[in-house]
């Protein structure tokens, strides 16, 4: 996120508008993340996630993202109704990142 979008360190991120099913106003290329109480969690390595929003459909949100064990950026759909636990696997848990 910092390299691709020139975002500041995560401690400066603030929660913006929620990503909601059917709302097509977020533009492709928008930085999104999961937040707690308006801030990106700083106190742990898991249970948080950031991605680049590409769009959405009835199944979920399409994003570009990566994580440590994956090692590379990949396009994927994060479903509205997750099959796995955790905010990073639930499209309705993401919000636009503001800084």
CA distance linking residue 43 with residue 54, whole number of Å = 28
What sign for the dihedral angle of Cα 63, 66, 92, 90?
positive
pTM for the predicted model, two decimal places: 0.91
Residues in the chain: 99
Would the pLDDT of 68 be above 80? Answer: no
Burial code of 58-67, b = ≥16 C-beta within 10 A, e = fewer? eebbbbebee
Digit-coded pLDDT (tens) for 80-91: 988 888 889 999
**Domain residue spans of the chain:** 2-98
Band the pLDDT of 47: cuts 50, 70, 90: confident
For the chain, give the percent of residues with pLDDT over 70. Answer: 100
Band the pLDDT of 2: cuts 50, 70, 90: confident
């Amino acid at each position: 996120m910092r390299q691709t979008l020139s975002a500041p360190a995560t401690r400066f991120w603030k929660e913006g508008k929620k990503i909601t099913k059917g709302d097509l106003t977020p533009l492709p290329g928008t930085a999104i993340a999961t937040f707690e109480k308006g801030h990106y969690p700083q106190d742990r390595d898991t249970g948080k996630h950031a991605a680049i929003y590409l769009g959405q459909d009835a199944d979920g949100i399409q994003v570009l993202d990566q994580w440590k064990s994956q090692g590379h950026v990949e396009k994927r759909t994060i479903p509205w109704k997750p099959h796995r636990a955790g905010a990073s696997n639930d499209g309705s848990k993401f919000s636009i990142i503001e800084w």
